[in-house]
Amino acid sequence: DQQVKQNSPSLSVQEGRISILNCDYTNSMFDYFLWYKKYPAEGPTFLISISSIKDKNEDGRFTVFLNKSAKHLSLHIVPSQPGDSAVYFCAASGSARQLTFGSGTQLTVLP
Amino acid sequence: DAGVIQSPRHEVTEMGQEVTLRCKPISGHNSLFWYRQTMMRGLELLIYFNNNVPIDDSGMPEDRFSAKMPNASFSTLKIQPSEPRDSAVYFCASSYDGVAVYGYTFGSGTRLTVV
């Protein structure tokens, strides 16, 4: 059973608009959450993370929001750029310090 | 630093053949992970080493899969015999003490095709 779920396999957004990628988790023991970005023929690269003691973390155009009561996190990209087109993976970590990944969301930013 | 290095980048093999994937982690990292990416299941953790010792191999699909880490700078993932359903992209990642705060560093992956 999947402990980290990304229910939208794809998302298309117009350049300049906001992209919102969503992720749900089931394990209440997760205490760190991360987003990775993956381009074709490359490995995933770390984008941004958030600790369970926070509800928001911002880094430039990227903001991650965490709603612990709903076991939900989201990644906002504002403004979206064509170079942001990639697969985005949500990941979570608990006491074992291993990352559990979601299945990914393909973001396409249209010029 | 050259990052995590995986070889080969692409591998095409016939069903029943042995396949060996290789990984060189970042120097100084003491945790190494093998992941498999498929369309259906996304990124699945296969096995995790810490200080060259396998810690969790519960993700290894079956006895056909085996992984070794003979030293801190090298790991292999072997599939014998290979089957078409093993076709996927296999990633190696490394980190210091498995610290998830800053994430893992992934290699570029090996795309395996079993025909």
Instruction: Give me the residues of chain B with pLDDT under 50, please.
Output: none
The total of other beta-carbon atoms located within 10 Å of residue B114's CB is 20
Average pLDDT over every residue of A41-63? 94
Which pLDDT does position B42 carry in this prediction? Answer: 84
**Residue A97: predicted pLDDT:** 72
Cα A33 to Cα A52: distance, rounded to the nearest angstrom:
8
A54 vs chain B: nearest CA distance in angstroms? 13
Give the residue-averaged pLDDT of A42-46. Answer: 93
Report, as an integer, the average pLDDT of A17-44.
95
Model pLDDT, residue B32 = 94
Chain B neighbors of A98, CB-CB under 8 A: 33, 45, 48, 56, 98, 100
> How many beta carbons lie within 10 A of that of residue B70, not counting itself?
9
Q: How much is the average pLDDT of A14-19?
A: 98
- At which residue do the structure tokens 């059973």 appear? A1
Whole-angstrom Cα distance, residue A97 to residue B87?
Answer: 28
Which pLDDT score, from 0 to 100, does residue B2 have?
78
d(CA B104, CA B72): 16
Strands B88-95 and B74-79: unpaired
Higher local confidence (pLDDT), A48 or A97: A48
Whether the CB of A93 is below 8 Å from some CB of chain B: the reply is yes
End-to-end CA distance of chain A: 38
Which position has the higher pLDDT, B104 or A35?
A35
Q: What pLDDT digit, counting tens, does each position of A83-104 carry?
A: 999 999 999 988 767 888 999 9
> Average pLDDT over chain A, rounded to whole?
94
- pLDDT of B97: 73
Tell if the CB–CB gap between A101 and B42 is shorter than 8 Å: yes
* Residue A42: count of CB within 10 angstroms of its CB: 13
